[in-house]
Amino acid sequence: MKTVDLTVAAIATWRITHMLLYENGPFRLFRKLRERFGVVYADADSSEVVSFQYEITTCPWCLSVWVAAAVTLLQLLSSKVQWLWLPFTYSAAAVAINRLMERNRQKFPEFTIK
| Global pTM value | 0.82
Domain region containing 28: 3-111
pLDDT in tens, 96-110: 998 888 888 777 776
User: What confidence tens digit (pLDDT) does each residue in 38-83 have?
Assistant: 999 998 888 899 999 988 889 999 999 999 999 999 988 887 788 8
Structural domain tally of the chain? Answer: 1
CB-count exposure of residue 47 (10 Å: 0-12, 13-18, 19+): exposed
